[in-house]
Structure formats: structure tokens, C-alpha cells
Amino acid sequence: MERSGVLITGATGFIGRNLARRLRQRGETVAAIVRPESEIGFLTDMGVACHIHDGTADGLADILAGICPETVFHLASRFIAEHKPSDIESLISTNLHFATQLVDAMARTGVNQLVNTGTSWESLSDAVAEPVCLYAATKAAFQPIMDYYRSAHGLKTVTLKLYDTFGPDDPRPKLISLLQKISASGELFDMSGGDQIICPLYIDDVTAGFEQAAREVQRLAAGEGRSYALPGPERLSLRDFVALFSDVFGRQPQINWGARPYRAREVMSPWTGPVLPDWHAAITLRDGLALTLKRTDNV
């Protein structure tokens, strides 16, 4: 059976919708797996075919059999930096249960190219190969599941481990939206000491990385898998990032540095790993912040 186009999970999220838009602009046929309650108008408006998952393994296999995609981009995830006991079920359900349903459906329908999304938090640092939090542990736990499907069913996989990501119209409660808020209000905001290193990546470079990963997975032999980092163009301290934000945005957030303790498992120096071949961050951090400001102010 001839396969064409791509399937995206997590297409309603910030990265997923930007990836869908990028691929549609290039003329790709794009389908998405969505929940029954998902808001999908913006996806259908750009020509993405949305398929509602009923939560069952058979239902997911039926969707893949009907779409016959060449490549699957798996971006659906549940992120919680510091979980509560009530969060355990949702973390396991999305990051392991649904992810396993997906690769099982791929195996059953003969779809064998997967671009998976991981996190740099799967390692506390270069020296400590332990997950930072339960979210990261669930992402890492999916790796041996993919190992099995590669070995038993010839799945080909490329996992992209992401760091901080940002860009315009990001609905997530991330650092930039916080800085914008407190800069506008003038409130004094308590933060940690600010010495932790971050390496943010602008959304256009993120989606370019996923495109390149799809090309990379095509080159693999059946049963092969690779894992790559997708780092930002520079590593800098949180304090230096806030200073750069202030310079680009022309707003000075009032921050009480050191008023809050670091998290118990704060990442002070992020893990570094092999970078995705034939890809690099093309947009500087300063330019990415400027683009975020310009497009946000025009909304």
C-alpha cells in the first residue's frame, strides 16, 4: 500500500500546531489525532484532517489504517514539572499508555517511521543520567518500549530531546509570558538566584528540526533508532536571559533574585548530547525574542 503525508499527535499544542502549519505551507498532506474535547477549528482552517481518538488501541489502529501516513510525529505529552499524587494517572496515561497505543497501531498497520519527542530533562546533567522529575521519567520509560517495537516490528525512530522553546502566541505559562506580565504590571516578583543555565530555542527552529528529523528517519534501516538534542543557539544563565529580555522588549521586570529557593532537583547545567545532523539553530536568541515581541504586539 502506498503511503503519503504525515500524522501528528499533539497538533493542538504550541509546537504541534506550528509544525502542522509549516508542513501545510510546504504542501504536505497533514492529519492529526485529537481528543473528543479538543478545539480543532484552527487546524481544519489550515487544511489539517482531524481524527478523533476514542481512547482505544483498536480505534487508533483504525485511524492509522485509514490515513496510511508515511511518517508519524509524536508530540502529544503531559508536562508537569513538580507533580502531585493526583497527577500520576494523567502523566502515565498520556506519556506511556497513549504512546504505546500509537506504536502498537503503527506496527499493526505497517507504518514504520516515527519522529518522537523527548526532553533534555531525561538526564539531570551530563554527569547524572537520572530523570529530573516524574514527567521526564515517563518520557524516558517510553524508550525501551520503542526498543521492543523496533526489534520486533522493524519500527524506525528518531527522538528529538527538547530544551526550552518559545515564540509568538504561546499559550503555555512559560518564562517569557511571565516576564511580559510582571514588566507590564510593575509588580516585584520573587525568583530563585537565577544562576541556572538555559538554552531556549525559537519555534521556527524547532519545527525545522522536526522536518529534518523526518528526513533522517527515512535514511534509517528497519529496526534502527537514533536520539538527538535540539538545543538553542546559546546557553546562558536565567539572570542573563532576563537582562536580554529587558533589552529587547524595552521593559525592566522587577525581580527579587534569591527570594525563592531552587527546586529540589533544579537543572543548573542542562544535559548536552549529539545534535541532530544537518540542522542548526538559525535564529539567534535576540532575534527570536524580537520576533516574539513583534508578532505578539500585532495580535
Q: Are residue 180 and residue 212 in the same domain, yes or no?
A: no
* Residue-level length of the chain: 299
User: What pLDDT, on the 0 to 100 scale, is given for residue 299?
Assistant: 44
Whether residue 165 contacts residue 206, with contact meaning beta carbons closer than 8 Å, is answered with: yes
pTM above 0.75, yes or no: yes
pLDDT in tens, 165-190: 999 999 999 999 999 999 999 999 99
Q: In the chain, pLDDT over 70 holds for what percent of residues?
A: 98
Look up the domain containing 188 and give its range: 175-199+233-269+283-297
207 in a domain, yes or no? yes
Check which CATH number belongs to the domain holding 120 and give it.
3.40.50.720
Number of domains in the chain: 2
Q: What distance lies between CA 234 and its chain's CA centroid? A: 18
Q: Are residue 21 and residue 92 in the same domain, yes or no?
A: yes
18 in a domain, yes or no? yes
Measured CA to CA, the distance from residue 57 to residue 149 in angstroms comes to: 15
123 in a domain, yes or no? yes
Check which CATH number belongs to the domain holding 287 and give it.
3.90.25
Q: Are residue 218 and residue 107 in the same domain, yes or no?
A: yes
Q: Are residue 181 and residue 104 in the same domain, yes or no?
A: no
Q: Are residue 145 and residue 290 in the same domain, yes or no?
A: no
Q: Are residue 101 and residue 241 in the same domain, yes or no?
A: no
Q: Are residue 209 and residue 248 in the same domain, yes or no?
A: no
pLDDT in tens, 41-91: 999 999 999 999 999 999 999 999 999 999 999 999 999 999 999 999 999
Q: Are residue 259 and residue 288 in the same domain, yes or no?
A: yes
Q: Are residue 143 and residue 193 in the same domain, yes or no?
A: no
pLDDT in tens, 188-225: 999 999 999 999 999 999 999 999 999 999 999 999 99
Q: Are residue 204 and residue 98 in the same domain, yes or no?
A: yes
